[in-house]
Every structure is written in structure tokens, then in C-alpha cells.
Copies of this chain bind each other. A is one copy, B any other.
Amino acid sequence: MSLDLFLRPCSLALIGVSRKTGDGSNVLENLLYYGFQGRLYPVNPYASEILGIKAYASVKEIPEPVDLAVVSTPRNIVPEVIDECLEKGIRAIIVVAQGFADSGEEGKQLQEALVARARRRGARILGPNTFGVANAFINLNTAFVRFPLERVPIGSLANSGVLFAGTTRLQLIGKAIDLGNACDLDFPDGLEYFENDPEVKVIALFMERVKDGRRFLEVARRVALKKPIVALKTGRTDLGVRLAQSHTGALAGSDQVYEAAFKQCGILRAQDFGEFEDLIFSFLRLSPPRGKRLVVLTITMGAGVMAADAAVAHGWELPPLPSGVKERIARFFPDWMDVGNPIDLGITQFSPYGRKDAFAEILNVVMSEDLYDAVLIITPLGSAGGFIPSLARESERHKDKPIACWLYAPDPAREMEREYMKIPRVVVYPTIERAIRSLTRIREYELFRNRVTL
């Protein structure tokens, strides 16, 4: 059975959808808001219509065929709802509720019974404990929280809804499957689906565990050669593993096993959310550099030194400018200055040597020949806007050369962060890892100070 029934359904039954609207948690309301064009059948025995759309007391009363059922009822009536879906001939079913394998023995048995029922009728279940699916390309999102949809060519597979919301930098819903407890549909199914999906260029995995390791490796190895697979594997520590087990009710397995397996099949493992979003962004937007020759253009040489450190530590070379190239850009610099790589653009931005065309010309020169394989631009936010036209032009001219940027200076636009930071003794961090590391280090310092002064 193709997962198209889940990701490209023509008709949806929304079973257990609430009459309550207006708070962003009504699936029907959200689908109308996104502009989903398929047929929608709300099922709620206490309503004859919801938001002007005819409601049915049971899925069996729907007069047309239904591709996908989104079951949002409390867990205790899920089994009978599933039975009705199967009788109706529905072959793709999303079970939203928590309280199955994620909550002890009774829930686990309930979950197993669901799967057994569905298998007998050739139906597939996504979940339980899931937001369901999203496909921005057809304005579909079954999550009971309203998220912005953006048509980015990312296919996400996750044991958690966190990817639906996206990270602090990135909207990750192009297409997404929240596997939840993964009682039936699991990572290999999703990988095989995205493997041949022309709307997906990068596959993102947010993984707590995989059940059928052998099949996962077999599929991942094949898919990784076609499209980059970026993985954030959580449940790394003993506690994390235990939590992942109770979160989705599955054994998580040793982290070293995953590490080795990922490496073997070419999955790119990210160490934290920061690297996860970096890698997804990078694969989505950059051509791979053809070699390891990097040129750095920086407004401040202090940051240029940092860039050289980081580049060398990662195996890059920063070849100096050939003399011919130096001559072509010499007019932007004072005589006594020896222009190197990183190129210190600071002096070209301010009087007496300031020249408005310096950045554009220098970028053009260093990108125009086969001198460098990748470009790193470092500039304060305040100067960044002026560089956009030249960046756009050169990027268009040299499609094989990736351009990475660091825009520094405080960004007053990050409003919610600023609101939080107004509260004393509260700090917002860009990633969880950075939050934990920071708490650790302020504690260590206190211990250091006490030890020395006592």
C-alpha cells in the first residue's frame, strides 16, 4: 500500500473532532485555514454540522469513500472506532491519542490489539500518540496545533511532534510523518516513500528508536545514496533511553549501535538541534564544495582569525590570493596593507579608504576564477543588507560554490526572546544542549570559587 493515502489523501474523515473552535486546536478548522482542497467529513455524534460542514454520527454513515481517517477520540473508544473505519473500507488510519504503549502494560495491550485488527484488513495505522501527517504542497496538516506550512523540499520522519513546530530557525514541514509510538508505520516506510518523492530533496529523521533495525539499515543505505538523510537520534544516555521507551513504548537500544549503523549507511548524524537545522539548511540550499579551498571575506579581522581556526580544525585550506588577483583589488586597500585570506574588508567600509563598490568587486574577483571552492562572509547585521545584490549575482553565476554567512550584532527583532530575558534569572538559549552546558558551567565556576576561597 502506498503512503499516498496518508500524504496525498483526497478525502479525510475527522473522527472525534470537537465542536469547539477558535483556539487553533480544531483539526477541521485548521485544515480549512490551510486551504486543504480534499473532501472533509467531520464525525461527531453530538453535532449535525461543524463550521458549516455536515457532521456524521459515525464514520460508517459517510456516503463517499474515505482515503484517510484521523481518529482524535480518547483512547478508550479508539478500538471500536478503528473497527468502524475498517468496516467502512478505510485503509489509512491515524490514531492521535496518547495512553497506549507510551503508558504501561494496559496501554501496550490496547495498542497491539489495534494493529492486529488493522493487519487483518490490510489497513495501516500511523501512531498512536501522534500529530499525524503534514504535506505543505497540498495544504494538509492533521496536527491539533496550528503551525505555519511552508513548501520546503524536506521530508521529516519523527517519533515526536517537535519537528512539526520546527526549530528556532527552520520550518521543517514540507512533508512530515509523526510516527509517534510507531505501532505499525515506522522509519523504513517513511524512507521508502520519500526516496522517490520528487518534492523531497532532504530527509530529516528525529529518531528515538527504530524497531526493525535490519530493514531500516537496508532501506537507509539505499536511500542515502539518492538523498541526504540527516538524523537527530535522541535517547543517548541511559535516562534518555528509559524516557524514550516510556515516551513511545519501544526499546531504544544502545547509542553506539546507532552511531555505527548511521555511519555505515551514510546517514548524517547531528549532535544537537543546532547542528540538525544547520545540516538540513545546508543540504537544502548549498551545492557541495568541489574541494577544500575556502576564501573568507570579513568586516572584522578578529572574526577572520576565528574563521581560520575553525576552518583549519575541519581540514580546510585558506590559500592566499594569487598576485594577479591582489593587483585587481589593490585599489581598495592602502599601500601598506598586505591583503590576505581571510580578506579584511573593514578598511574598505569606512573613510578614508571606504568605497561602496568594494564588496561587490572583491566578491566578484575571488569567485570568478577557479580559485576557491567555498566562500564564508562575515559581516555585522548593519552592513549586511547592502551586500545582498552582489551575493545574489555571484551566487547565480557560480552555482557550484556554496556561500556561508555569519551576520553578527544583536538582532532586535527577536522579540519573544527579549521578553523572556526581561524576567530576572531567566535565560533563553538557542538549543537545549547550550542551555544545559551553560547551567553546568555556572555551577562549576561557583564550585571553583568556593574551593579556592574556602
A268 neighbours in B (Cβ, 8 Å):
441, 445
How many copies of this chain? Answer: 2
Assess whether A426 is in contact with B145, with CB atoms less than 8 Å apart. no
Chain B residue at minimum C-beta to C-beta distance from A291: B443
Number of chain A residues whose Cβ lies closer than 8 Å to a Cβ of chain B: 153
For chain A, residues 63 to 98, give those with C-beta under 8 angstroms from any C-beta of chain B: 74-75, 98
A420 contacts B by Cβ under 8 Å: yes
Knowing A283-B445, A376-B436, say if A403 contacts B427 (CB, 8 Å): yes
Q: What residues of chain B lie closer than 8 Å to A392, measured between beta carbons?
A: 423
Assess whether B316 is in contact with A165, with CB atoms less than 8 Å apart. no
Report whether B99 and A336 are in contact in the complex, using a CB–CB cutoff of 8 Å: yes
B158, B243, B289, B302: the one within 8 Å of A443 (CB): B289
A288 at the interface (CB under 8 A from B): yes
A228 touches B445 (CB 8 A): yes
- In the complex, whether A327 has a CB less than 8 A from a CB of chain B is no
Stretch in A4-12, A118-126, A233-241 touching the partner: A233-241
Which residues of chain A from 393 to 420 have a CB within 8 Å of any chain B CB? 395-396, 399, 401-417, 419-420
25 chain-A/chain-B pairs, Cβ below 8 angstroms: A103-B338, A106-B336, A160-B302, A165-B300, A167-B410, A206-B302, A237-B308, A237-B309, A237-B312, A238-B312, A239-B312, A240-B305, A285-B426, A286-B442, A289-B439, A289-B442, A310-B436, A314-B440, A374-B439, A376-B432, A376-B436, A391-B420, A391-B423, A402-B439, A404-B438
Query: Besides the contacts A234-B305, A282-B427, A388-B419, what 9 more A-B pairs have beta carbons closer than 8 Å?
Result: A25-B354, A160-B300, A161-B302, A228-B442, A275-B434, A294-B439, A402-B427, A405-B435, A406-B428
